[in-house]
Structure 1
Amino acid sequence: MSSDARRWLTEHAARAGRVLSVAGEVRVRVVADADMAAAHVKYSGVPGTTDVLTFDLRDDPGAGGPLDTDILVCIDEAHRQAAARGLSVERELLLYVVHGVLHCLGFDDHDEAGHRAMHNEEDRVLAAIGVGRTFAAPAAGEGDR
């Protein structure tokens, strides 16, 4: 990932955090399929790669308060999904970061209603920072990158 792409991702992730009124620390690590697959099986018991894994490190995650979060995002999955959606890899990675933060804020996408609510919130946040809807099919020319 280029330094310009990394800078764009960092700046837009910070903007998303402000929209979500997030306090605390969120650390993001970009990994390839092999590292993501190893983490996925180790921490979730699921073989194969995935797009994002979130680790909420607060003593009592349900109690709220400032975040202490590690997020792994998979660059290879981002390349695949970005190509399928016609978006930039950076925009896809930003979606993964927002998704991870939303998990720490109590969103869950393991059932249909939660899935819909979480992805609607992702798109709301991304639109609010000028990137445009990303999970839902974006309108032509919507947002940057």
Structure 2
Amino acid sequence: MAKTKSAGVVLTVTARVGKPLANGLRLSLLRAVEMLPHAPAELSVALVGDAEMSGLHEQFMGITGPTDVLSFELDHDARGRVTSGEIVVCVPEARRQARSLGHPLTDELLLYALHGVLHLSGYDDKTDSAYRRMHRTEDRILTQLGVGKVFSRGSTRQRPKPRLGKLSIHKSRGTV
């Protein structure tokens, strides 16, 4: 397991990705976080495999199987804004989607990590309008980073049907 830290973003890699990819993701995510007015001051991003993501998905959301990204609120300020959070990204899911949509794995991983940051920054995707707003914000930030629109590149992507996970009493709260 490799860890790198810079300006409040810690990246933990337990899945198979190369060091250049992990470092590039960390640097791009740092730049993205700087573009958000209310991003958490401390972020931990874990790149994991299907088995680990499936376990977390079941434990915190009550849903079997892997998902693309989960985010966990760890600490809040007096106004209730998230000051510390963890994002878990499933590398094999990103690899499958990137291959299916014909774009680089790095773009898909960055999309997932940014999606988690946006959840921790107060965005949600529970309604159609919130879903569109969140994904427009992702594409805007990724374009500013020079990556381009990643979410809307995948024209086959659709808003998933609402699903209810089991409730967990835990310091962290999972968000899909």
- The CA distance in 2 between the partners of 1:60 and 1:126, in whole Å, is 28
Out of 138, 161, 171, the position equivalent to 1:122 is: 138
1:134 aligns with 2:150: yes
Runs of 5+ consecutive residues of structure 1 not aligned to the other structure: 139-145
- The CA distance in 2 between the partners of 1:73 and 1:10, in whole Å, is 13
Q: Who is 2:65 aligned against?
A: 48
Q: Who is 1:63 aligned against?
A: 80
2:99 partner SS: helix
Q: Who is 1:142 aligned against?
A: none
Does the Cα contact within 8 Å between 2:40 and 2:85 map onto a contact in 1?
no
Does the Cα contact within 8 Å between 1:61 and 1:104 map onto a contact in 2?
no
For 1:1-145, list aligned pairs within 5 A. Answer: 1-21=17-37, 22-59=39-76, 63-64=80-81, 67-137=83-153
**Pair 71,32 (structure 1): closer, same or farther in 2 beyond 3 Å:** same
More strand by share: 2
Q: Who is 1:141 aligned against?
A: none
More helix by share: 1
Does the Cα contact within 8 Å between 1:19 and 1:128 map onto a contact in 2?
no
The alpha-carbon deviation at position 59 of structure 1 amounts to 3.7
**Pair 132,35 (structure 1): closer, same or farther in 2 beyond 3 Å:** same
RMSD: 1.7
- The CA distance in 1 between the partners of 2:100 and 2:78, in whole Å, is 34
**Pair 135,69 (structure 1): closer, same or farther in 2 beyond 3 Å:** same
Runs of 5+ consecutive residues of structure 2 not aligned to the other structure: 1-16, 155-176
- The CA distance in 1 between the partners of 2:35 and 2:145, in whole Å, is 8
Q: Who is 1:143 aligned against?
A: none
